[in-house]
Structure 1
Amino acid sequence: MHRALLCLCLATVTFNASAADPARFGAAQKAIEAGEFKAITSVLVAQDGKVVYEHYFDKDGAEGRRNTRSATKTVAGMLAGLAIADGRLPGKSARIFDVLPPARRARMANPDPRKDAITVEDLLTMSSIVECDDETEFSRGNEERMYLIEDWVQFYADLPVQGFPAWMPKPADSPHGRSFRYCTAGVTTLGEVVQTAVGEPLQAYAQRRLFDPLGIEKPEWQFSPLGLAQAGGGLGLRTRDLWKLGQLYLDGGRANGKQVMPEAWVRASLSPQATKGEEADYGYLWWLMKVPVGDKVMTLPAMAGTGGNTVFLLPEQHAVVVITTTNYNERQPHLLTFKLLTRDLIPAL
């Protein structure tokens, strides 16, 4: 999502036919098939907890695991909330270097008391004090630099403290008291924080506490060279799995008659905790996108990843919209996703 805020063999799968009215979404499907939105791979629309439209535009179909890139970060926020609820992570104010293996601090380059004070909440809100900004190619913490080394978490631990020249707002002068800078390395580190706190591999904890209760099977994780499940991106999930995650938060953390996520954590996650700018606020690893729809601007919580891969929550319509793509090399692919959502999908609801 950070780089742009703004068809192959067809496979059609029909579910919940009695609830669906394909004609409502005919214009959207026709435009996608004509290539207007480039490489859209799937669209799912659910309203009132039921799928009302679902179509696959590639050969992988319903069982394909979609690499939705940075939408994985939202899953990391869910796992942090569960670790806190389980009493394994002291809380959002827990200092990460008090949780991580002691070697992280012992081997740290650029030691600084301000780095020692970094909290879980700092990572959840993309606002820690270290110099890490994926939107700046010159940033010491840019994720492309991280991938060149073996130990991704130590990469984050070694980063220097961010400087704030006169033209850059200091955290104290920023909305919510936080200076937002998109940092994949920080969420990667959050994954190890959760893993260390719960005492089991991150992927195993995710399966037991989040995916199994939702009926999500065989997720495809990516791993660091040292074997850490990558909380910062690349998790492969089916389109319906992404819907289940979105529906979980739309329903206040409940699924299948059980409280899977604490309702208070859901509310906090979907509330502004930092500000990206005029176009979006940021919760706990949830985008709060300000999307023009007709004559008004709607704030839509979203899980978002490179290429325009997005899970939108539409609280007013009690709807979830999942759009997956392979528009990784397109210019401003999120604008294509927003256009599909606002011009064709929302009106159909």
Structure 2
Amino acid sequence: MNPESITNLEDLITKNYSNITGIVISKNVHLVYEKYFDRYTKDDLVHVASVTKSITSILIGIAIDKGYIKNIEQKVLEFFPDYTIRRGEKYIQLITLKHLLTMTAPYKYKSEPYTKVYSSDDWVKSALDLLGGKNEVGEFNYSTIGTNILSGILSNATGQSVSDFATQNLFKPLGIDAPKPTFIQNKEDYLAFLKDKYVTGWIADPKGVNTAGWGLTLSPRDMIKIGQLYLNGGRWNGKEILSTKWIVDSTMEKSRWRELSYGYLWWILKDGYAALGDGGNIIFISPQKEIVIAIASRFMPRTKDRIELIRSHIMPMFQ
């Protein structure tokens, strides 16, 4: 990376990507670039939005590796034996863990009822109540609310809170500070969490169950560790954190939305795969070039495409 290329990249970010807070890049396991913007530092956390989904995928993989979950073909309702199926339900009993991971589960809404779910006392149950409906199983149907059912599955399968399980089996081994539960009481709290400059923790419902589809805060250094773990085939400092099999399976196309491929809560790209979060948060992994790129961003509607930034302005610096 020559100085002129770096200067051009940073000028471009300041001008056209003003909500980026930090970029960290590793190549061949070595940190080769780290830069922070808008008075952020390496220690500041950012709400990574739907990057949380890919972290949840990792936790499901670890739970399967450790035998807490048999396999992804298990029916969702197996994990909720006390849940009462509503009369007339047709498809909910067919839905498996795999359907949740690949965004191919049907729901009883046209647009996600965030306010209804996040004002309830039990977000997992509220999501279960929305699962199923009249649409058939198997069609791509991206859902942040529905992903929260995976939190309930993790909690019930492992007997631990999601945050405790994540801390013990992922964050602590990677040297990531464990995020504490953060609670929101109303719409104002929710909007503040999205828009405040400095936020910390991991959003949890009133029962203390962490969100699976959003709500996690990480630093760019944390994000690069997650990406490097995948590039390393699940190993960290010589120890297996996650099986290579799960990494391969989760980053192969399992469903499709328009021209985009989807694995197990990971987006599959022609030149790698990525965890993508609203506002422009991304962990991009290129196995071919052995590069991991982590970009953290404050929430901003209609942000410029980070994949385009990576392909057009970052990756050419490594030719």
* Short-chain TM bin: 0.7 to 0.9
Distance 1:27 1:315 in 2: 26
Q: TM-score, normalised by structure 2?
A: 0.87
Q: How many residues align?
A: 297
- Say whether 1:326 aligns with 2:287: no
Alignment of 1:31-42 (within 5 A): 31-33=12-14, 35-42=15-22
- Partner residue, 1:267: 248
Render the CA deviation track for 1:150-173: whole Å, top value 9, x for unaligned.
321112211263445xxxxx66xx
The one-letter code of the counterpart of 1:146 is V
- Say whether 1:316 aligns with 2:316: no
Distance 2:131 2:13 in 1: 45
Sequence identity (%):
30
Query: What displacement does 1:88 show?
Result: 0.9
Further displaced range: 108-117 or 220-229: 108-117
Q: Is the 8 A contact 1:109 1:159 kept in 2?
A: no
Distance 2:273 2:114 in 1: 24
Distance 2:275 2:114 in 1: 19
- The DSSP-based 3-state class of the residue aligned with 1:69 is coil
- The DSSP-based 3-state class of the residue aligned with 1:126 is coil
Query: What displacement does 1:305 show?
Result: 0.7
Q: Is the 8 A contact 1:142 1:183 kept in 2?
A: no
Give the unaligned 5+ runs of structure 1.
1-19, 133-137, 165-169, 172-177, 290-297
Query: What displacement does 1:87 show?
Result: 0.8
- Say whether 1:283 aligns with 2:266: no
- The DSSP-based 3-state class of the residue aligned with 1:63 is coil
Alignment of 1:162-177 (within 5 A): 162-164=133-135
From 75, 86, 107, the equivalent of 1:130 is 107
Q: Is the 8 A contact 1:239 1:324 kept in 2?
A: yes
Distance 2:268 2:115 in 1: 25
Query: What displacement does 1:144 show?
Result: 4.5
The one-letter code of the counterpart of 2:119 is L
Q: Is the 8 A contact 1:25 1:53 kept in 2?
A: no
- Say whether 1:43 aligns with 2:23: yes
From 175, 179, 186, the equivalent of 2:139 is 179
Query: What displacement does 1:231 show?
Result: 1.3
Q: After the TM superposition, list the runs of 4 or more consecutive aligned residues in structure 1 that deviate by more than 3 angstroms.
A: 20-24, 108-111, 141-145, 160-164
Query: What displacement does 1:334 show?
Result: 4.7
- Partner residue, 2:130: 159
Distance 2:214 2:148 in 1: 8
Q: Is the 8 A contact 1:25 1:345 kept in 2?
A: no
Query: What displacement does 1:24 show?
Result: 3.9
Distance 2:22 2:29 in 1: 19
Distance 1:251 1:197 in 2: 27
Distance 1:313 1:321 in 2: 7
Q: Is the 8 A contact 1:25 1:344 kept in 2?
A: no
Render the CA deviation track for 1:234-289: whole Å, top value 9, x for unaligned.
101111110010111112111111221111110000000100111x1000000113
Q: Is the 8 A contact 1:310 1:323 kept in 2?
A: yes
Distance 1:158 1:125 in 2: 19
The one-letter code of the counterpart of 1:252 is G
- Partner residue, 2:118: 147
- Partner residue, 1:235: 216
Query: What displacement does 1:73 show?
Result: 0.6
From 108, 114, 119, the equivalent of 2:91 is 114
Distance 1:309 1:145 in 2: 26
Q: Is the 8 A contact 2:220 2:296 kept in 1?
A: yes
Give the unaligned 5+ runs of structure 2.
180-200
Cα pair distance change 1:142/1:283, threshold 3 Å: farther
Query: What displacement does 1:59 show?
Result: 2.5
The one-letter code of the counterpart of 2:103 is M
